[in-house]
Each structure stands twice: as C-alpha cells, then as structure tokens.
Structure 1
Amino acid sequence: MSKFTKKKSSELPAISTASLPDIVFMLLFFFMVVTVLRDDNLLVKNTLPKADQVEKLQKDRSVYIYAGKPSERYEDKYGKEGKIQIGDKFTDVSNIKFALTEARQKLLPELQDRVMVALKVDEETNTGLVTDIKQELRDLNMLKIIYITSPGNEIDSQ
C-alpha cells in the first residue's frame, strides 16, 4: 500500500490564450489586404444634383454609368468636354452597348436579365449627353434607369 496516491481528475486543462492576439492581428491584416473599398476609380467630376426624395437601393444588380467633364487630373489628356465613364474607362456613346454588355456579364447569371442602370451625372453635364446615353439604353432594352443624387433640396442651397 502506498502512502502517496495521486488523485486523477476528470477536468480538462485550461485553454491557453497566449496565441489569441497573434491570431486576431493576423486576421485583421488579412482582411485589410483583401478588402476592396472602392470599385471604380472616378475619372470625371461628379458633383451630384440634390433631391429631396432619396431612396437607398441595392447595388447587387446595378451597372453604374458616370457622366461629366474629366477631373482636373485628366483635363490635359481628354479635354474639357463631357465624357462617359463605365467601370474604370472612358467610353464613347457608340461604345456604350459593348461596355454595358461586358458589365452585365460580370453580374450573377440570375441577375443579368433584371439589371438596373444607375446614372451618376454631374450637375453641369450637357443634357444632350444624357439623352444619347438613354437612347443607347433603349436600343439595348435596358429600361430600368436610376438617377443617383445627393440628399438635400436644390432650392434651399441657393
């Protein structure tokens, strides 16, 4: 018979949390590197007109078209006339069909038939350019158009 006996406990030992901060910082750096904050690099001036009735819409089935004068960085290269931007590239009115077809194919297959075109038009843009864009959209049978504005009332800001 032994005088010293060990008690066997059925408890699990405590989990070491010493490496937990390392794991948290590693995940933080991973998500900082992988996250995309902005889809498009804006090449045109985009001061949006104000509207008093603004709704927030889903972005998952939208294709954005930016219209306006080139920003100051690009004035020397592209001039001061109104330009159309889809994605990260300038395009002409004649190439809108190709650019929108390409942008539509990037969406999920079930959303390609229900795509909405979001127009972000600078407040100083010529109306003729917007009319040309809308005519090309009619030819493509993309009839759901959203005009993106900023909240506020144009009359109060003058």
Structure 2
Amino acid sequence: MSKFKKKANVKQEIPTSSMPDVVFMLLFFFMVTTVMRDSSIMVKQKMPQATQLRKLMRKSLVTYLYIGEPSKTEQYGKEPKIQVNDVFIEPKDIIQWVNVEKAKLNEFERDQITISMKVDSDAKRGIISDVETELRRANARIINYSSVNKKEI
C-alpha cells in the first residue's frame, strides 16, 4: 500500500454571478466617454492629397471650417460656401465666429487656437483668400489646411 492517496479530481468553476455587473459597468463607461460628431458636414469634401503631413498635437485647440459646394445644391446653389458649426456663414461673419470660438477656450489658450480648413479640392482660390484675410483680421494666426496622405508609388 502506498502512503499517499490519490487526490480526487476537483472541478473549479468560474463564478458568473457578477458578470452582468461588469457588463453594465463597461456599457456605462463607453456611453459616457464616447464623443459624438459635433457637426454634420453640409458641403462636399474631396480632400486634396499631400506628400508631407504633420499631425496636430492639441486637438482641443482646433476648430474646423469647411469650404465646398453645398450637398443640397437645389436649396443652396452650386457656389462654394463656408460652413462652421452646422451653419453657412459669409466671409464677413468669420471675425465674430472666431471670437465666439476663442471665448470657449481658457484665457491663456486663446492665442493658440488653430483653425483647420477642410477645403474641397475643386473650390476656387478666391473664397479661400477671403477666408484667410478675415482670419488675419480676427487675429487667428495658426491655420491648418487638412488633406489626405498621397500614396507613394
């Protein structure tokens, strides 16, 4: 006879009683932390291609301005329009819009606001020049032109 007895096969099951709690905690976490799109784009966007791109470091200081032909041409026409925050504006309204966007930031960050222009590649240079002039008048000196990366062949 042997001195040692053979241990019986013991099954250990994972307790699943707290699993619904964990699932709901994850669900609430993702619901709270998910950011929905701020505005819907109402202009056509065919982004130009570039070979040298740089990423933006502080996206909290970035405000987007869209220029392009309206999606609903029967309602707004075919001329390129300027869109900010779900509304179309004229170049003369850009100073007021920049001041409103700067007011949303902390006082020490207001001079660091970055205007990211998403311009359709078919847009005329005249409207872009008008926007640049108004941005200079509004003292928004940091301008970013958004584009997509050109695939190297």
Which TM bucket (shorter chain)? Answer: 0.7 to 0.9
Closer, same or farther: CA 28–140 of 1 in aligned 2, 3 Å: same
Work out whether 1:148 is the aligned partner of 2:139: no
Q: Which residue matches 2:103? A: 105
State whether residues 49 and 150 of structure 1, in contact with CA within 8 Å, keep that contact through their aligned partners in structure 2: yes
Give the distance between the partners of 1:97 and 1:62, measured in 2 at CA: 16
Percent of pairs with identical residues: 36
State whether residues 115 and 143 of structure 2, in contact with CA within 8 Å, keep that contact through their aligned partners in structure 1: yes
Give the AA of the match of 1:60: S
State whether residues 63 and 104 of structure 1, in contact with CA within 8 Å, keep that contact through their aligned partners in structure 2: no
Pick from 114, 117, 120: which aligns with 1:116? 114
Closer, same or farther: CA 89–28 of 1 in aligned 2, 3 Å: farther
Alpha carbon RMSD of aligned pairs, Å? 2.0
Structure 1 residue 151, shift from structure 2 partner: 0.2
The Cα offsets for residues 36-79 of structure 1, whole Å up to 9 and x where unpaired, read as 232221111111100000111121211111100111xx222211
**Structure 1 gap segments, 5+ residues each:** 1-15
Give the AA of the match of 2:85: G
Give the AA of the match of 1:38: R
Q: Which runs of 4+ in 1 moved over 3 A?
A: 31-34
Structure 1 residue 32, shift from structure 2 partner: 4.3
Give the distance between the partners of 2:21 and 2:126, measured in 1 at CA: 56
The Cα offsets for residues 14-40 of structure 1, whole Å up to 9 and x where unpaired, read as xx7622x22222233324433223222
Structure 1 residue 95, shift from structure 2 partner: 0.9
Work out whether 1:79 is the aligned partner of 2:90: no
Give the distance between the partners of 1:109 and 1:33, measured in 2 at CA: 31
Structure 1 residue 153, shift from structure 2 partner: 5.6
Give the AA of the match of 2:122: E
Query: Normalising by the residue count of structure 1, what TM-score does the alignment of the two structures yield?
Result: 0.78
The Cα offsets for residues 83-120 of structure 1, whole Å up to 9 and x where unpaired, read as 00112211111111111211222233332121111111
